[in-house]
Structure 1
Amino acid sequence: MRAPVLAAGGIVLRRGGDPLFAVVRMRKRNDWVLPKGKLDDGETPRDAAEREVLEETGHLVEVHEFIGTLAYDSGGRSKVVHFWRMEAAPEQTHPLMKDIRAVDWLPLDQAIERLTRANERAFLANVGPLVLEAAAGKAQTLSPRPNEATPPVIVPSPPAARRTAPIDDGPITELADAPSLALEQPGELEPDAQLTMLQRIRKWWRGGSRA
């Protein structure tokens, strides 16, 4: 199987006043998306997530828990995006990267509505309430265990997309039973002859790329 494109980003709340979520507008397509981007060579997903959010929002951020993974097809190739919960400083301190036309800060319901892509809308609708609870200090404290896997949060493909030809950015996996906050990324799964697409991606991510 061709190796997936690996990316990382943030579900970002801005500090001060009412909690607002970051969404960014791409210059090329005018799409409104969650801040994220591809990993640089030798970069960890967490470091890439922090860098990409700074570049796309112009705000310094504090990175908190790993919150979920979104997997979908993009340009005929699988793309896997790991997301962390983040809190942004109140003021923008850096210019936006050239690929970004604008950044907006919105309440959760408006941020979901603003997003162009159905998979990102579903993802944010799923994890957004959990992020708000965590930011308010209501989330249960978890003890991170390096070898303990955490179920990723992944949204299902819309029914219409399944009945038509492949569409870029259509999710390829199913929704986890429940989202969770964890400091660790999903761990390696046991070998299985009937691996799903997500399991194959995760197996490659945790060890296949070093073979």
Structure 2
Amino acid sequence: MARTPVLAAGGIVLRRESPPRIAVVRLRKRNEWVLPKGKLDDGETARDAAEREVLEETGHDVEVHEFLGTLVYDSGGRSKVVHYWRMDAGGKPVRELMSDIKEVDWLPFDAALERLSRSYERTFLENVGPIALQAAALAERERRARLRLAAAERRRNRQGAILPAAEQMPVAEAPVVAEAPVVTEPPVAVDAAVAVEVPVMAEYDVADAGEAVKAEHGVGAAPTEQPPSFGREIDPVASAVHPTPRKNLIERVRDWLRRAA
């Protein structure tokens, strides 16, 4: 009658370094280097058992990720079925190693393959190890991308907090330039009469001029004529359309002497 297989769980445990390193543990009893793993407790799921066993054998708290595969081998006349998950270890150990483990070492992929004591574990790691490393690299890129997005979001939030304060700053208003009043000149009436002042011209009295000439030449007095009015203003320009030409004074005196003789 076949015996019931032993159920166990463990992990391909990586530490974020360049290159990433894989955990291998050294058993105290047989002095063998193996992958960290352990038997399931009653009522425990394989995933929970894998996380607990890795913590006990490496001393590191881990994050459990995708399932990698199952390794089945013969152990003490019984089949042993071990389920493995990819795991990321924290920076520092959080507890001491369990008594069954002598030491733990973190090695690059090729060195970890050489260190393992059991051939079936080397074969298993050789097949699932690259898958674990590729998944870890992809997860690291995604983690860095999330960090960049978070940093950009924080910058936008800071800028958004500064922008409303800047928008609330009073804006200097442009000075209001008053429009100059339009001054309109009163219309000039075209038909309005323009008053022109004409200088007052006084005419020489012809009679007085004649007396002066006769007195000079000894001629008798000439009959008195009504002298023209002194200070008579010249007719306005508007009425003097056809002015009467006047003789000069000498010609008039000569005419007067000629008539007197």
Matches within 5 A, 1:15-164: 15-137=16-138
Distance between the aligned counterparts of 2:16 and 2:50, measured in 1? 18
Letter in 2 for 1:137: L
Distance between the aligned counterparts of 2:74 and 2:136, measured in 1? 31
Query: Which TM-score applies when normalising by structure 2?
Result: 0.52
Where do 5+ consecutive residues of structure 2 fail to align?
140-261
Q: Is the 8 A contact 1:10 1:83 kept in 2?
A: yes
* More contact order relative to length (CA 8 Å, sep ≥ 6): 1
Kindly indicate which of the two structures has a greater share of residues assigned to strand.
Answer: 1
* Shift in Å, 1:15: 2.2
Letter in 2 for 1:6: L
Question: Which has the larger Rg?
Answer: 2
Where do 5+ consecutive residues of structure 1 fail to align?
139-211
* Shift in Å, 1:16: 3.8
Partner of 1:59: helix, strand, or coil?
coil
CA RMSD of superposed structures (Å): 1.3
Distance between the aligned counterparts of 1:136 and 1:18, measured in 2? 10
Q: Is the 8 A contact 1:25 1:31 kept in 2?
A: yes
Q: Is the 8 A contact 1:26 1:101 kept in 2?
A: yes
* Shift in Å, 1:2: 2.0
Aligned to 1:176: none
Aligned length in residues: 139
Letter in 2 for 1:22: A
